Amino acid sequence: MKNIFIVLIALCLVVPAGGVTRITCIGASITYGATLPDPATQSFPAQLGALLGKDYQVSNFGVSGTTLLRKGNFPYVSTPAYQQALKSNPDMVFIDLGGNDAKAINRSHYNEFEDDYHALISSFRQLPSHPRIILLLAMPSFEKDSIGIYDPVIMNQVNPHIRQVAYDEKLEVLDMHSPLVNHEELMPDKIHPNIQGSAIAAKKLYDAVLLPRDAGFDIFKAIKEPYKTDSFYGYPCATFILNGRECKVVKPKRAAKGHPWIWRARFWGHEPQTDIALLEHGFHVVYSDVAELLGNDEAITRWNNFYKMLHDGGLGQKAVLEGMSRGGIYMYNWAAVNPTKVACTYADNALLDLQFWSDSTLLKKDFNLMRVKDLGALKASPLDKVSQIVAGGYPMLHLSADEDEALDPSKNTLLFEQKVKTLGGSITVIHKPGFKHHPHSLPNPQPIVDFILKATEGSN
């Protein structure tokens, strides 16, 4: 293994041709390519280089067993590879450290994790090349030994620390955990990805490298109300009050051209996998609290005002609408009267018929009803507005838990699907056999993200 690593270092020191972008990857055994038959060609940095082609020089400085922590059992900064990485004078740096820090032997030093990460970042920021630095969350571990690289520790301690560092340093961060969390078969020893798993990682880095961006755009400048800023999984989130209701806007580290965005209808921050993945692709994530107006006229008016503020401020004309549970009512009722402002929809175990809403008092108040049974004549549900929804011409994605005990799929998602298809609309339903109403989303949101990226390509 040492001989292979020496060869890799030697390859890294080749002076690239003029105009070549130098990318340096630092990390531990996963970066190095441990357990792969040929790390020099099969590690994720090597596969990244193959994807990018001749205009890029990708260098692998991974060292097996190393930690981010300076007081860890094998600190990366104590290795010759770290010094070689600094000497490579990169244009971009990917940092993949943290997995080994999840071992029990290293956990007592977590109070120093963020400071140690800041110091590591500073060492690269001070280079003459002033590289673009991207942090990688630790990949999942399927080990059962809680003393070793234990996934609950990765999820609840290591990765949150990395996200906080990314927020503090205003750096990009890539979630490497979700893309493999449902692919234990791609990690034969429970820790290290095989060739196919490394290919998934390489593609994620490839997308980040080539993401077109609008460097000068800042949606926060469009917010005229006082706002406070905090971290949404490592991304800056502005929270403010608009017409008496709380609103949130999260901006990506690098805004994609066209300024695409996803609008969470309800349950802010719940199962945020899709939102986080889209932030990595340069999307904005927004929320306007209209609970519990249930998609009535007041809710639509408030959303119209919020939309105007964001679109006037530079976000794309068409938003992706995201509705979990009763969020489906909010987003589709707004979409029905704003068909040209919707790029696509993503609904998740969605309530689509208000007759199944349990709070009769609230229903009467929201829709000025004397009796709940008058709701049918009002035609206030998405199931009553399928023709207006289909007229928008946008594709719709629904996740449906087949054993949803809270919202009968046959009276909500499946009935909606039937009506949409009858009118020639575009709808895709992903079934979740054996699942109930919770949990929403997917642990690995890639199918949802792929749908949204395809639907929004060129839409703004």
For 76-117, give the DSSP string.
Answer: GGGSHHHHHHHHT--SEEEEE--TGGGSGGGGGGGGGHHHHH
pLDDT at 366: 86
pLDDT at 363: 81
pLDDT at 18: 57
Please report, for the chain, the start and end positions of each structural domain, with discontinuous segments joined by +: 2-210, 219-456
Reduce the DSSP state of residue 319 to 3 states and report it.
strand
Token readout for 151 is 């996934």
C-alpha–C-alpha distance, residues 331 and 320, integer Å: 10
Beta-carbon contacts of 325 under 8 Å, excluding residues fewer than 6 positions away, are 266, 267, 348, 349, 350, 351, 406, 407, 437, 440
Cα-based distances in Å from 389 to 107, 126, 242, 297, 310: 52, 53, 27, 16, 22
C-alpha–C-alpha distance, residues 209 and 212, integer Å: 9
* 186 torsion bin: left (phi>0), alpha (psi -120 to 50), beta (else): alpha
What is the secondary structure of 219-241 as a DSSP string? GGGG--S-EEEEEETTEEEEEEE
The class (CATH top level) of 2-210 is alpha beta
Contact 76, 101 (CB under 8 A): no
Q: At the fourth CATH level, which superfamily is domain 219-456?
A: Alpha/Beta hydrolase fold, catalytic domain (3.40.50.1820)
Whole-model pTM above 0.85? yes
pLDDT at 140: 98
Token readout for 52 is 């990018």
Per-residue pLDDT of the chain (460 residues; tens, 9 = 90+): 443 443 344 344 334 445 899 999 999 999 999 999 999 999 999 999 999 999 999 999 999 999 999 999 999 999 999 999 999 999 999 999 999 999 999 999 999 999 999 999 999 999 999 999 999 999 999 999 999 999 999 999 999 999 999 999 999 999 999 999 999 999 999 999 999 999 999 999 999 999 888 878 999 999 999 999 999 999 999 999 999 999 999 999 999 999 999 999 999 999 999 999 999 999 999 999 999 988 899 999 999 999 999 999 999 999 999 999 999 999 999 999 999 999 999 999 999 998 888 788 888 888 887 676 777 777 889 999 999 999 999 999 999 999 989 999 999 999 999 999 999 999 999 999 999 999 999 999 999 999 999 999 865 5
Query: What beta strand segments (E) does 145-301 contain?
Result: 172-174, 227-232, 235-242, 245-250, 261-264, 284-288
pLDDT at 211: 87
Reduce the DSSP state of residue 165 to 3 states and report it.
helix
Helix H or strand E encompassing 396 = strand 396-401
Say if 2-210 and 219-456 have the same CATH topology. yes
Contact 88, 26 (CB under 8 A): no
pLDDT at 101: 98
What sections of 369-442 are H helices per DSSP?
375-378, 386-390, 413-422
The order of strands in the sheet holding 319-324 is 227-232, 235-242, 245-250, 284-288, 261-264, 319-324, 342-348, 396-401, 427-432
In this structure, the number of other CB atoms found within 10 A of the CB of residue 177 comes to: 21
Q: Which backbone phi and psi does 324 adopt, to 5 degrees?
A: -100, 135
pLDDT at 216: 86
In this structure, the number of other CB atoms found within 10 A of the CB of residue 370 comes to: 7
Beta-carbon contacts of 148 under 8 Å, excluding residues fewer than 6 positions away, are 102, 103, 104, 141
The distance of Cα 281 from the centroid of its chain, to the nearest Å, equals 8
Supply the angle between the helices 159-169 and 113-125 in degrees, to the nearest 10: 40
pLDDT at 458: 67
Strands 172-174 and 235-242, sheet pairing: unpaired
What's the count of helices (H) and strands (E) in the chain, helices before strands? 17, 14
Angle at 137 between CA 281 and CA 215, to 5 degrees: 35
pLDDT at 391: 96
In this structure, the number of other CB atoms found within 10 A of the CB of residue 367 comes to: 18
C-alpha–C-alpha distance, residues 460 and 36, integer Å: 42
